[in-house]
Chain A
Amino acid sequence: SQQGEEDPQALSIQEGENATMNCSYKTSINNLQWYRQNSGRGLVHLILIRSNEREKHSGRLRVTLDTSKKSSSLLITASRAADTASYFCATGIIQGAQKLVFGQGTRLTINP
């Protein structure tokens, strides 16, 4: 079963606009990570936020984490056509293995 729930499932915006994707999870986590996937290929790591952190920035990306609400958000500012992809949140859990539990993803389309 999958822990994360991304919202919305699909998002379509104009180039230059900001895109916000949300993720909710169920259990205690060690960290939360966001990945991007283009056309069913491999996953590209975007950003990792630890359970004791509330906000993190990387270039045009801003991630927030609210452990009391078990939720996170990914903001992409000044979107570009190349940002078109599926975005997944993944919770990092240590249960023997250091495994990632993924949500179902948000399909982001940037229209030129």
Chain B
Amino acid sequence: AQSVTQLGSHVSVSEGALVLLRCNYSSSVPPYLFWYVQYPNQGLQLLLKYTSAATLVKGINGFEAEFKKSETSFHLTKPSAHMSDAAEYFCAVSERGSTLGRLYFGRGTQLTVWP
């Protein structure tokens, strides 16, 4: 089974500061990689995905992530945090091949944005 590690269960930044949320996966074959955001009492919304094209992926709400095979990482960044970015963020992977698209999630990172 896949393993996903999100370093830091809580990250706090000031409004306007850089957001960096870390994600590492454990697989010799690069999986499909995703970042999801979850606001309180809501479902998960896809921010961005990496399949096999460009290693720098742009998503919604100004977020982007860079796939680095040598580091088995897929960190999420945003140049300037906004109060509305406060939420729980999950990194997830699914294996290539016929695995029915099941997702393996990291433990999540709670992002707090201070005014």
Same complex origin of A and B: no
A→B interface (CB under 8 Å):
none
